[in-house]
Amino acid sequence: MPEQTAPKGLLHAILLDGKGGCVHLPWEDVARWQPEQGCLWLHFYFEDPQSQVWLEQHSGLSEIAVSALVTDETRPRTLNRGDNLLLALRGVNLAPGDDPEDMVSLRLWTDGRRVVSTRRRKLVSTQDVIEELEAGHGPQNAAELLVTWIDRVVLRMNDTIEQLEEEVLALEEKILSGETSGLRVQIAQLRKKTISLRRYLAPQREAMNRLASENLSWLDEINRLRLRETNDRQMRYIEDLDEIRDRAALAQEELFTRVSEQMNERSYIFTVVATIFLPLGFFTGLMGINVGGMPGVENASAFWIVVAACLGLTGLLALVFRFKRWL
């Protein structure tokens, strides 16, 4: 790494002191860094052209590693060659105003002595690790940095999963209470969030399984156990997402059932009313024809007799419907 001006896309250059703390290195010290000084962590904004030039020409990384660090889209994966590790993961987007399912990529390369990572959007988990280092109780080496970082990425998913569980519970309660207005769109949005999150977490589970089993000399058994524990927690989150997705699907079916029942009830009422008034309409229409010979034309009480007949017919139809248990 020759001396040069720091790339504009350099977010931080941190030297781990081996005791849980860190030092933020100026760029000229980065160029003179030696592995004996401790683990060096370089974090870049990869869309910056200067960062890409440094990674390609001065980082000493292979073409495959550089390509993986600067690619626009990448699926979670683990790739190693000897003691060199290339890792791509995704974390929940916790930026205000953004959708959690619009996940943020984490790309890093390490050989156990140096860590080079890139990002496009800010990942809160990264700031968590930096704050721990600045407080003096963070990771002491590259292996601990890797494991701690992954652990924070997975841990940050907890609030999002709990929020989705609360949303599906609220939807279920609304459906059971008979409130159906606007729920179809809310359920569809919830299912979209759940499916999007699971889409990335499922391959990430496989990537972490492979990472825990890779033969890396600098990754000791304690950190492998921590990785497995973190992956177990992630698998529980995936199972929770499956449950939320299934509950949302059941809620959608229940919503359709209740809406269908409401429509059937309304149609039934209209049918009953139409059935009652059909003979009345025929009777009053018959009595209203303007031809000679109509009975009661000269009788002053004929109107009230017709009204009484209509009321009697209505009552008789109601009794028949009641007897048939249609009402």
Please work out, in degrees rounded to the nearest 5, the angle formed at the alpha carbon of residue 276 by the alpha carbons of 270 and 278: 95
| Structure tokens given for 88 | 């791509």
Residues 141 and 272 in one domain: no
**What's 319's domain CATH number?**
1.20.58
* Tens digit of pLDDT at every position of the chain (327 positions): 444 688 999 999 999 999 999 999 999 899 889 999 999 999 999 999 999 999 999 889 999 999 999 987 778 889 888 899 999 988 887 666 656 556 788 899 999 999 999 988 888 889 999 999 999 999 999 999 999 999 999 988 888 899 999 999 998 888 888 777 778 888 888 888 888 888 878 888 888 888 888 888 999 999 999 999 999 999 999 999 999 999 999 888 888 888 787 778 777 777 777 777 777 777 677 667 666 566 766 677 777 777 787 788 778 877 877 777 666
For residue 126, give its domain range: 10-258
Residues 70 and 215 in one domain: yes
Q: Which residues contact 75 (CB under 8 A, 6 or more apart)?
A: 88, 200, 203
Residues 178 and 46 in one domain: yes
Residue 4 lies in a domain: no
Tell me, what's the pLDDT at 43? Answer: 95
pLDDT tens profile 215-260 = 889 999 999 999 999 999 999 999 999 999 999 998 888 888 887 8
Q: Is 22 in contact with 16 (CB distance < 8 Å)?
A: yes
Tell me, what's the pLDDT at 101? Answer: 58
Helix, coil or strand: residue 10? strand
Residues 43 and 67 in one domain: yes
- Predicted TM-score (pTM) of the model is 0.76
Helix 221-287 to helix 302-323 angle, to the nearest 10 degrees?
150
Residues 79 and 96 in one domain: yes
**Mean pLDDT over the full length of the chain:** 85
Tell me, what's the pLDDT at 327? Answer: 63
Tell me, what's the pLDDT at 317? Answer: 75
* CA distance to 6, 12, 28, 189, 220, per residue, from 184 (Å): 52, 46, 58, 9, 50
Neighbours of 84 (CB within 10 A): 16
Residues 183 and 299 in one domain: no
Tell me, what's the pLDDT at 3? Answer: 46
Residues 167 and 131 in one domain: yes
Instruction: Mark 263-273 as b/e (b = at least 16 C-beta within 10 Å).
Output: eeeeeeeeeee
